[in-house]
Structure 1
Amino acid sequence: MRQLLLIAGAEWRCWQRARLALGAGLLLAALLVATTVVTTLRMQAEAAARARHQAAAEAAFLAQPDRHPHRMVHYGHYVFRTPPPLALFDPGLDPVTGQSVFLEGHRQNTAMFAAASASADLGGFSALSPALVYQLFAPLLLLLLGHGVVVREREAGTLATLLAQGMHGRLLLAGKGLALLAAVLLLLLPLAVSALLAVRAGEAPLAAAALVAAYGLYLVVWGALALLASALLRRRAAVLATLATLWIALTLVLPALAVARAAQAAPMAGTLETDLAMRADLRRLGDGHNANDPAFARLRADLLAKHGVQRAEDLPVNLRGVVAQVSEQRLTDTLNTYASARMAVETRQAAALAAHGWLTPLLAVAEASRAVAGTDLVHHHRFLQQAEALRYAFVQGLNKVHAEALSYSDDIRRSSDAQAEQRTRVAAAHWQLLGRFQFTADAAERRTAQAAPQWQMLGLWCVLLVAALGWAGGRLRP
């Protein structure tokens, strides 16, 4: 153990004397601080705007005067998603997908007000964040530190001396690896601070620890790659060229190819094609604003027979309100079918993209990071589904008021009879049926479990590289 510490200490002293390594470290630290500050300020501004708009939307909806309930169905309401605490480190898909949905009758709207246009893979780089700095630039510092740990000894002639004195190659690589591991731990300090701040903001300690561990494994992979290249190649220029090529391939080229491959593996129908097919299906459902539409003839006949009357005016409920309820249910079932199909394709695309983590650790850590932070595709889909559940509940609540509180006779004459129009207005207290929307991320245990395949990918990368280092240490020669 003493020899390992001596080797690691000597390596650290060498790095301290190298101005390039020190400068690169300071540059990375400055980049992390800058992106953290910018992300924090942006999220604070968004949180303030979100709270202001949410309050304004609720106040505007609840302040509506007495009116026909179906008018409020079309008036609509906004709901907003509050990002989880770890989104400060990894915003994930939130800047791409948006965090607000407008709820209204007869329509399912997707999330709006995204900071960047959505990419086909729902996982593209939309803005520089602390997570992206760790994914792209922290490996560069490790490559800079690690590329010369062995090849420098070989070029200086000290490697032959060390081996001649009886030091085993594996012991030498283990000492150099310990120095790089200490550098990894130092690099993780800013992330650990961010994780602690997230815990203070309400995040579960398990999720925060899982995020730090995922990036720890990721950085260990890059440190091991640098050490392996330095042990196998005999010239510093060859080591640098090899590691630069690996960085470009694993962080830029392969992820881009994986995105294209994922889109091909699960192709999605065009928006125009889908909208035309959906509108054709909706037309066959009938017009819910017209109680005499042939699509509702059976419903009308069943209601009359059930209550033993001959005219809609004699029903104990408003036929137009009942038709609105049934129409909204049929329409929502159809909309949900199309929404589920779209989400299924997006899920297959995301799974196909994530599977490429076996080929590049960047995709593995990026997927694990989004899953643990609660900013991945799964949480985006849950947001849309929960918003739709609230939309359907409040629309059907208003339709129920329409069916039970309004007279059918007044309802059909309200456009031509001022008194009937007044009688079809219901009290504004009914608008209170709108529930308050509150989205929360999955439990930390569930989010961590969702990243299990990515843990396996990063773990396999580490195991293979450690095995390769053991092999390289056994055949290390001057």
Structure 2
Amino acid sequence: MSLQSTKVLRVTTEEWRALGRNRVAMIASLTLVALILTSALLGMEQRNATEAARARYQAASDEAFDAQPDRHPHRMVHYGQFVFRPLSTLAFFDPGVDGFTGNTVFLEGHRQNSANFSEARQSSLLLRFGQLTPAFVLQTLAPLLIVFLAFGAVAREREQGTLRLLLAQGLRPSELATGKLSAYAGVVAVLAAPALLVLAAAALAGWAPPVPSVLLVSGYLVYLSIWAAAALLVSLLVGRARDALIILVAAWMGGIILVPRILPELALARISTPTRIETDVAIHHELKQIGDSHNPDDPYFAGFKAKTLARYGVEKVEDLPVQWAGLVGMEGERLTSELFDRHAREAFEREAEQNRLVRQFGSISPLIAMRQLSMSLAATDTESHQDFLEQVEQHRYRFVQALNLLQVTKIPNQNAGADPRISAEHWKALPRFTYREPDVLQLAGDRIRANLVVLLCWLAALLAGCGLAARRLGEVAR
């Protein structure tokens, strides 16, 4: 080991020893570690309990649908189905937007319902300040602890007069800064260790995806290292430890508390989003212009009627070999679904534009990049919820059209005016919803890389700043 490495190691060891003698620092660190571990274990249990409950509700809903008696297929179209969103495997670590987007969708004909029963609407306002999860603790509380541990790393040496003594004994400023940074890198590793152990155990057990788990831990290590480097930089530049603490706490409040809560409101004000009622009204007006399947004199369906009669070679709908009302229902569902899909895509594009606006401010607060990275890897971001909604809508369309096809083929056209019914055995043959959990590396690969780059740029800039500040440390100490 070289002399320089020995000096750096000695500085690191002495800093750890000083932290070990600080009872407040030790108690706070152990409390945070216990909080991360406890929140991870409780999050696992809650996630599994929630997933089991949703599976029970889904099975009960499917069973109730299958148990319906002989009915007209169109009545079953309006009876509908409930679909519950399964939780991602890493939702215990970072629930992301899942608590605010809803988890249940009611499927029915002629209508595209939104997801309902979000936890935020059924809980107190405290949920909006952050759930007690490993992601919340690491994103919000861990940086504050690092600030309180590292704010006086160099400033306190300067105040106590030991800085001049160390430099006079031949310790270079760069060696001092490197040793201090190494000490707090060890603190970062200790704080992230519980999360690393939990994710490693889940990945080895085959329960959590290994690559996203590794990237998740790596992202949090870089994020916490950013705060350690920022604390050291301020301590290198500021003459008094008290001033360094004030600056760092102000940065924590601005970057962690204020900016992440102001930016969504700014994005919403800049890129407005119509309400659900406004969207429904717009769809209704557009549908009136395209064609109304419930209006026998509608021009579009008059043309559809003429094409249908010509295709089957008959002159009246009563002579059709299939049921005319069922054909109208299928065509009406096709038209409304096209409108639903277009408005949904427009809504997704607006949300994506809002998210892009928020992500642009990652240069102001690394929390923005870390939060987006964490949610993307945990499959609990907005894009993952949109993927669920798209799969649900595709299933809804197949489900409704399958019932309309039963009406077309199973009910004689001559009995259309009565109340004909078909066997309940047909309900059991209808398609069931199965959510295909996407590969997060494919769904969010670009966003993951972009957020990792932002975090690495933050860390590189702060480390470069520490290097420059260490150069002038000797001059300041004279």
TM-score class normalised by the smaller sequence: over 0.9
Partner of 2:390: 385
Is residue 130–residue 136 contact of structure 2 (8 Å, CA) maintained in 1? no
- TM alignment of 1:43-442, pairs within 5 A: 43-117=47-121, 125-199=129-203, 200-289=205-294, 293-412=298-417, 414-415=418-419, 421=420, 424-442=421-439
* Deviation per residue, 1:160-214 (Å, 9 max, x gap): 0111122111111000000011111111111112212432353321100000011
Deviation, 1:282, is 2.7
The runs of 5 or more residues in structure 2 that have no matched partner are none
Is residue 66–residue 427 contact of structure 1 (8 Å, CA) maintained in 2? yes
Range with bigger deviation, 382-391 or 269-278: 269-278
Is residue 139–residue 367 contact of structure 2 (8 Å, CA) maintained in 1? yes
SS for the counterpart of 2:111 is: coil
Determine the C-alpha separation between the residues in 1 that align with 2:278 and 2:300.
25
Is residue 372–residue 448 contact of structure 1 (8 Å, CA) maintained in 2? no
Q: CA 1:438 to 1:257, structure 2 compared with 1: closer, same or farther past 3 Å?
A: closer
Is residue 289–residue 320 contact of structure 1 (8 Å, CA) maintained in 2? no
Pick from 443, 458, 463: which aligns with 2:460?
Answer: 463
Is residue 116–residue 126 contact of structure 1 (8 Å, CA) maintained in 2? no
Letter in 1 for 2:229: A
Determine the C-alpha separation between the residues in 1 that align with 2:285 and 2:206.
48
Determine the C-alpha separation between the residues in 1 that align with 2:340 and 2:148.
53
Deviation, 1:365, is 0.2
Letter in 2 for 1:375: T
* Deviation per residue, 1:117-157 (Å, 9 max, x gap): 49xxxx96452321011111000111111111111211221
Letter in 2 for 1:356: F
SS for the counterpart of 2:438 is: coil
Determine the C-alpha separation between the residues in 1 that align with 2:347 and 2:303.
32
Q: CA 1:117 to 1:357, structure 2 compared with 1: closer, same or farther past 3 Å?
A: farther
Is residue 94–residue 114 contact of structure 1 (8 Å, CA) maintained in 2? yes
Is residue 192–residue 212 contact of structure 1 (8 Å, CA) maintained in 2? yes
Q: CA 1:148 to 1:245, structure 2 compared with 1: closer, same or farther past 3 Å?
A: same
Determine the C-alpha separation between the residues in 2 that align with 1:275 and 1:204.
39
Determine the C-alpha separation between the residues in 1 that align with 2:34 and 2:427.
55
Is residue 110–residue 333 contact of structure 2 (8 Å, CA) maintained in 1? yes
Determine the C-alpha separation between the residues in 2 that align with 1:160 and 1:55.
72
TM-score, normalised via structure 1 length: 0.93
Is residue 112–residue 340 contact of structure 2 (8 Å, CA) maintained in 1? yes
Pick from 422, 444, 448: which aligns with 1:451?
Answer: 448
Determine the C-alpha separation between the residues in 1 that align with 2:460 and 2:91.
30
SS for the counterpart of 2:119 is: coil
Is residue 84–residue 441 contact of structure 1 (8 Å, CA) maintained in 2? no
Letter in 2 for 1:216: L
Deviation, 1:10, is 0.5
Determine the C-alpha separation between the residues in 2 that align with 1:319 and 1:30.
67
Percent identity reads 37
Q: CA 1:284 to 1:426, structure 2 compared with 1: closer, same or farther past 3 Å?
A: farther
SS for the counterpart of 2:284 is: helix
Deviation, 1:40, is 2.9
Determine the C-alpha separation between the residues in 2 that align with 1:204 and 1:353.
28
Letter in 1 for 2:207: G
Pick from 472, 475, 478: which aligns with 2:472?
Answer: 475
Is residue 217–residue 458 contact of structure 1 (8 Å, CA) maintained in 2? yes
The runs of 5 or more residues in structure 1 that have no matched partner are 416-420
The 4+ residue runs of structure 1 with deviation greater than 4 A are 123-126, 289-294
Determine the C-alpha separation between the residues in 1 that align with 2:235 and 2:131.
33
Range with bigger deviation, 23-32 or 344-353: 23-32
Is residue 78–residue 109 contact of structure 2 (8 Å, CA) maintained in 1? yes
Letter in 1 for 2:17: R
Deviation, 1:334, is 0.9
Determine the C-alpha separation between the residues in 2 that align with 1:211 and 1:395.
40
Deviation, 1:45, is 2.5
Q: CA 1:452 to 1:117, structure 2 compared with 1: closer, same or farther past 3 Å?
A: farther
Is residue 170–residue 474 contact of structure 1 (8 Å, CA) maintained in 2? yes
Determine the C-alpha separation between the residues in 2 that align with 1:310 and 1:259.
59
SS for the counterpart of 1:103 is: strand
TM-score, normalised via structure 2 length: 0.93
The count of aligned residue pairs is 466
Q: CA RMSD of the aligned region, Å?
A: 1.9
Q: CA 1:272 to 1:398, structure 2 compared with 1: closer, same or farther past 3 Å?
A: closer
Q: CA 1:113 to 1:134, structure 2 compared with 1: closer, same or farther past 3 Å?
A: same
Is residue 258–residue 353 contact of structure 1 (8 Å, CA) maintained in 2? yes
Partner of 1:418: none
Letter in 2 for 1:95: G
Determine the C-alpha separation between the residues in 2 that align with 1:332 and 1:185.
51
